[in-house]
Amino acid sequence: MSNANPVTTVDTNNQPTSTVEEIDYSEMITVRMADVFKPFVPAAVTAVIQIPKHRHPDVPREIAGYIPDEKQLSQVISWFCSPQRPNFMHMVGPTGSGKTDFMLWLCARLNWPTVLVSVNPTLRPEKMQGRWVLSNGICLWTYR
């Protein structure tokens, strides 16, 4: 009597395969601002904005029950709709004043991927723009 376990051969040629669909996160759609910022922008507002069509994994989850400051939201919407919109928005305020919560809420509504970075005197450009990577004995700069 043999203690050997029987070997089973499985034919994988006829097994269904799963396909991975490539998602273009840069694809945009046009939506009504009133729909994006409901109920904080009245339904009568007909302005439209472009937002990413697909939700990137880095888009933050909306904070349940969060109510944005109306003045702050109005300023951000003006910035967003400006034809000469600068590439950045600068927020200032004391610790605990809601800057981070507001930005996370805004990015969740706009479907924008978000990376939180603490700005301090030791912040290096690589943290924001990319990093050095050692590849085959050569140090290469890789952009984020």
**Phi, psi values for residue 99, rounded to 5°:** -60, -50
pLDDT at 121: 87
Tell me how far apart the alpha carbons of residues 66 and 95 are, in angstroms, rounded to a whole number: 18
- Report residue 22 as tokens: 């490539």
Tell me how far apart the alpha carbons of residues 108 and 59 are, in angstroms, rounded to a whole number: 6
pLDDT digits (tens), the chain, 144 positions: 555 556 655 666 666 666 778 889 899 999 999 999 999 999 999 999 999 999 999 999 998 899 999 999 998 888 888 877 767 778 888 999 999 999 999 999 999 998 887 778 888 776 777 777 888 888 887 776
- 116: closest CA among 129, 103, 130, 131? 103
